Amino acid sequence: MPATVDLGVSGLEVRIGDHICAFYRGAERDDILVPFLMAGLRTGDKCICVLDAARPESLPALLDDPQVQERLERRQLELVDFESSYLASGEFVPDRMLEFWEHNVHSALEGGEYRMVRSAGETHWALRDMPGVDQLVAYESELNRFIPRYPQVILCLYEIERFSGELLLDMLKTHPKVLLGAMVFDNPYYIEPDEFLALRQ
């Protein structure tokens, strides 16, 4: 398996095992998310996408893929809404969400059909006044322990204009890679989970 994969955005490549924070404004979400998924579908990756701002059923129409319905039916592409994932039972529980990824990524790879998994998560759900949303930053840090366990890339989508500067700074501390505009760069502000979580205690 090659060490790098096509991100789908502006000819960029990332490494398998990357946890990427994608900062965007408004409609730019689709300029990031759609190419990311399309690159994975073309190369035979499993793609899991958790959506918030748009209903999951709206995404297939954005994908320039005549086989999209077939891919959905055989679950190469899985679209999940935030209410049955991040906010299942009306609250955010980080351990439960980590179990969600563990189950779905492991299940996708164990049969040998897929070489890797691409996951994307939209984060508007964290702006709601719901129990547990204050645990988002700790969850993002913990994801860095999970990612090396499987061949995967995780893309976390944050709309700059909707989140506070404080939270966006915390996202810089919890993501080793950052996508901004047409650039992916190694994040000099990233802090390893043990150190980051110790600082928050």
Task: With a cut of 70, say whether residue 178 has pLDDT above it.
Answer: yes
Helix (H) or strand (E) holding 37: helix 28-42
For residue 11, name the pLDDT band (cuts at 50, 70, 90): confident
Q: According to the model, what pLDDT value does residue 200 have?
A: 82
Residues 6+ apart with CB under 8 A from 21: 156, 158, 171, 172, 174, 175, 177, 178, 179, 187
For the purposes of burial, counting CB atoms within 10 Å of the CB of 52, is it exposed (0-12), middle (13-18) or buried (19 or more)?
buried
Q: According to the model, what pLDDT value does residue 182 have?
A: 86
pLDDT tens digits along 41-87: 999 999 999 987 556 567 777 787 888 889 989 999 999 989 989 99
DSSP string, 40-68: HHHTT-EEEEEESSS-GGGSGGGS--TTH
Q: What is the pTM of this model?
A: 0.93
Q: According to the model, what pLDDT value does residue 1 have?
A: 64
Task: Could you please state the CATH topology (level 3) that the domain comprising 4-199 is classified under.
Answer: Rossmann fold (3.40.50)
What percent of the chain clears pLDDT 70, i.e. is strictly above it?
Answer: 96
